[in-house]
Chains A and B, each alone.
Chain A
Amino acid sequence: MSDTPVTYVRTQMLDQQAPPTSEVGPVRWMRENLFSSPMNAILTILSLYVVYVVISHVGPWLVNGIWDADSLSECREIIAATGDGHHSAACFGVITARWHQLVFGYYPSELYWRPVLALVVFLVGIAPVMFPSLPRKLYIVTMAAPFLCFWLLWGGSIWFPIAIALGFGVGVVAHKLLDANVSSLAGMIGAILLPLIYWLYICGPLAGGLASIIPLGIEFVPSRSFGGFMLSIVIGLSAIVISLPLGILLALARRSDLFIIKTCAVVFIEVIRGIPLIVWLFTAQLLLNYFLPPGSSFDLTLRVIIMVTLFAAAYIAEVIRGGLAALPKGQYEGADSLGLNYWQSMQLIVLPQALKISIPGIVNTFIGLFKDTTLVVFIGLFDPLGIASAIRATTEWNGIYWELFLFIGIMFFISCFSMGRYSLYLEKKLQREHR
C-alpha cells in the first residue's frame, strides 16, 4: 500500500490565517453577547433605548450643573443667563454651600476633626476582626475603641468613659477570682452583678470625683448637634456594636433546652421582627418615657440608639442562629467529649467558628440598618434627609429638591455598595476555606 505514489503532499505548514471577521473582535463579541437570537436582539435594542432615554434626559442636567451659587435664585439667574431658556441644569451650589451640614449636621465646625478621628479609631479597632492577618496587639485598640469614640464624639470629661470602661475591668477581675477560688457559677454571677453594682453606685461619683480633682476633657457637644451622615453612622454603628453581645445571647437562648428562656427569646425576636422599625421609633419617641421611672427622661438620640439596638439585636440573633446551625454537629459533640461545660464549649469551640461564618450576615444586617437610619427623620432627628428638609426651609434654598436627593442617594450607594462587596468577598473566602 505504501508504494502507491502520492500525487501531492504539502511539505510545509500553512501560515496561520486570520479567523473570519465575523468570528473575531467586537463583531464576534456582539454576535455572541448581544444578537445571538432574535429575542436577544430585541432585548438589546430595548435596553440600549432605555439607557439612551435616561442619559438624554438626565445627562445635560447633570453636566450643566451650577456649582458656585449661594442661593437658588442666584443659581436660576445663572441658568437663565447662560442656558437656552430651559431649566435643564442642576443647582449643585446647594451641596458646595451646605455639604458640611449634610455630613456633620450642626456639629461645631472647628471640631469636625473629632468625628473623623472617631471614625478612624473605629476602623482601626475593627480592622483586626475584619482582617485576621493583622497583629493581635491591635485588639487593644478594639477594646478601647467604643469608649474612645464615645468620648471623641460627645466630648466632656475623659473620666466618664474611663470610669464606665473600668466596670468591664471589674467584671473580668471578679470572674477570674471567683472562678478560680469559689466556683464557675459564682464566677458567672460575680461577673454580671459586681459591674452592675459598680455602674449603679460607684461609677458616677468616682468619675465626678476624678473630674473635679484632675479636670481633663474636651469641649462637650450635645447630641442635638449631631446630624447628617454622621448621625446615621453613629446610630448605625453603635446599634450594631452594642447589639452584637445581645444578639449572641439571644441566639444562644433561642437554641437553649431551657423552655422558659427559649420561649422568652423567641417571643422577643418575633415581636421585634414582626413590627416595622418606624413603629419602634415612634415608640422610642412617644412611649419610652412611660416605661421608665417617673421623672427620668433620656435624650432622644440615646432613646433612638437604644431602640435601634434592640431592633438590630433581634436580626443579629437570627443571623448568629444561622451560624450556629451551620456548624457541624461534631463540633458540639467534640466540645462535650472534652468535658467542657456549656459556657466553656460555647466560648472556646462553638462561638469562634459560628461568628466567623456569621460575619457576612452581620455586615448585611448593618447595611440594612444603616439604610434604615434614614427613618429617624420622622421623629424629628436631623439625618441626611432631615438636614435636606431643613436646608429647604431656609430662604436661600427653598424649593430645591433633586440635587439633595441625588447627593444623599449617591453617598448611601457608595458606602452600602462597598460594604456589600466586602461581605461578598468574605462569603467567597469562607466558601474557599470550607472546601
Chain B
Amino acid sequence: MKKTVFFGALTAAGLAAGMASAATLDDVKARGSLNCGVTTGLVGFAAPNAEGEWEGFDVGVCRAVAAAIFGDPTAVEFVPTTGQTRFTALASGEIDLLARNTTWTMSRDVDLKFEFVGVNYYDGQGFLVPKALGVTSATELDGATVCIQTGTTTELNLADYFRVNGITYEPVPIETNAEGQQQYLAGACDVYTTDASGLAATRATFENPNDHVLLPEIISKEPLGPLVRHGDNEWADIARWTLNALITAEELGVTSENIEELAATPGNNPEVNRLLGTEGELGAMLGLEADWAKNAIMAGGNYGELFEDNIGENTAIALARGLNAQWTDNGLIYSPPFR
C-alpha cells in the first residue's frame, strides 16, 4: 500500500502504534512489544507506581503474554483506557489485548465482536455502605443515593435489580474508581456499587475500613477476563493458553521459585513436562518457543502467586481467594488440560 510508506516512516520514528491486520502475532513480533489495554488506575489491578512502572493483577496477565511471546515480560506497552474507550481501542487495533477487569457478557462477545479468552477473576456486583447507616440488606436501600461507574455492566445490573425488587434509587454517575471513592467517603452517596473485588480494594484504602460493610447481596455474575478481537483465532489461542498456563501451573505446584529446576530436565510428571516444554511440541503449535509457558510463569509467578502478590490477603486489598480458588480447593478456577 502506498500510503503506508509514509506511515511506515512514522512507525519507525515511533509514532504509529502498528497495524491491525489478521495476523496479530506477526504484528506484535514485528513491533517488538505487546500493546495491552489496562485501566487508568485501580489499586491492585493496574496502576503505575512512583517510577511509572505498571503493577497489578491485570498487568500480570499482560506481562505473562508478553513473556510467552518474547521471553521478556517488559516488552509491553500499557495503554490506559477508560470504561468509555476500552472497546474501541481494542476494535481499532490500538491494543492487542484488553486486560481491564472486563465482564464477559454475551452481547460483548457476539455483538461487539470480541473474544474473551478466559476468566482471571470471578466477581459479582456488591454494595458498600457505611456501618452507621444500619443497613443489612440491599432490599432496604429504597430511595438511597448510589454511586456507580458509567459505561460498565454494573450500571445495567443495578437498574435491573432495583426494578425487579420494586424499589427506587438515585444514581450518581462517576467516571473513575478514585472519584467514586471520594464521593462515597464524603457521603455524597449512601452506597457505592461495583464489582465486589473493586469494593474490597477500595475499602482497604480507607482510613477506617471497619466503618464500612459489604452487603451480603451479590446481584450479578461478573466473570472478568482478558479479551481480544474476533477473527484471529491464533492470537486468541496464545492469550487463552497463556492464562491457562498460569492456572495450570498453580494447580501442578509450579511456582516462580521451583520453575527453573523443573524446566531444566524433564521430571516425572508428564503434564508439567508438556507445560514447560521439556516434552512435546505445545509451544510450536502456538507458533511460539518451546519455553513459552515457562517464561509466562516466570514473568510474575503462577496464577496463585499473581493473586497473592497483587490482591491477596497479605496485601492492602486483602481479597480472599473465595470463588477464585482452584477447582481442587472448591473454587471455580479451572484450566483445560495441557495435552
A–B: direct contact at CB < 8 Å: yes
Residues of A within 8 A of B (CB): 73, 76, 97-98, 101, 105-106, 154-157, 160, 163-164, 199-201, 203-204, 207-208, 220-225, 282, 285-286, 289-290, 293, 295-302, 378-382, 386, 389-390, 392-396, 398-399, 401
Contacts A204-B5, A296-B3 hold; do A154 and B12 have CB atoms under 8 A apart?
Answer: no
By a CB distance below 8 angstroms, the chain A residues around B80 are 380-382, 386
Asked whether B18 lies within 8 Å of A390 as measured between CB atoms, the reply is no
The answer to whether the Cβ of B1 comes within 8 Å of any Cβ in the partner chain is: yes
The answer to whether the Cβ of B105 comes within 8 Å of any Cβ in the partner chain is: no
Within 8 A of A (CB), among B33-62: 40-43, 47-50, 52
By a CB distance below 8 angstroms, the chain B residues around A398 are 43, 178, 181, 205
Tell me how far the C-beta of A430 lies from the nearest C-beta in chain B, rounded to whole angstroms.
38
Add 10 more A-B contacts to A297-B93, A380-B82, A399-B205 (CB < 8 A): A154-B13, A225-B52, A285-B88, A298-B16, A300-B17, A378-B82, A380-B81, A392-B178, A393-B178, A399-B185
Tell me how far the C-beta of A146 lies from the nearest C-beta in chain B, rounded to whole angstroms.
14
Query: Which residue of chain B is the closest to A390 with respect to CB atoms?
Result: B41
Contacts A380-B80, A380-B82, A394-B47 hold; do A293 and B94 have CB atoms under 8 A apart?
Answer: no
Asked whether A300 lies within 8 Å of B12 as measured between CB atoms, the reply is no
Contacts A224-B78, A380-B79 hold; do A156 and B14 have CB atoms under 8 A apart?
Answer: yes
By a CB distance below 8 angstroms, the chain A residues around B9 are 160, 163-164, 199, 203-204, 207-208
Asked whether B18 lies within 8 Å of A393 as measured between CB atoms, the reply is no
Which of A106, A286, A295, A297 counts the most B-chain CB atoms under 10 A from its CB?
A297
How many B residues face the partner with a CB closer than 8 A?
Answer: 54
The answer to whether the Cβ of B149 comes within 8 Å of any Cβ in the partner chain is: no
Which secondary structure characterizes the binding site on chain A? Answer: helix
Docked pose: A199 CA to B5 CA in angstroms: 9
Asked whether B18 lies within 8 Å of A297 as measured between CB atoms, the reply is yes
**Among the listed A155, A200, A297, which residue makes an inter-chain contact with B2, where contact means beta carbons less than 8 Å apart?**
A200
The 4 closest A-B pairs by CB, nearest first: A393-B41, A106-B52, A204-B9, A289-B92
Asked whether A293 lies within 8 Å of B181 as measured between CB atoms, the reply is no
Docked pose: A398 CA to B20 CA in angstroms: 37
Query: Which residue of chain B is the closest to A305 with respect to CB atoms?
Result: B15
Which of B79, B81, B85 counts the most A-chain CB atoms under 10 A from its CB?
B85
**Among the listed A203, A208, A224, A285, which residue makes an inter-chain contact with B6, where contact means beta carbons less than 8 Å apart?**
A203
Tell me how far the C-beta of A341 lies from the nearest C-beta in chain B, rounded to whole angstroms.
32
Docked pose: A160 CA to B10 CA in angstroms: 9
Tell me how far the C-beta of B185 lies from the nearest C-beta in chain A, rounded to whole angstroms.
7
**Among the listed B41, B78, B85, B88, which residue makes an inter-chain contact with A389, where contact means beta carbons less than 8 Å apart?**
B41
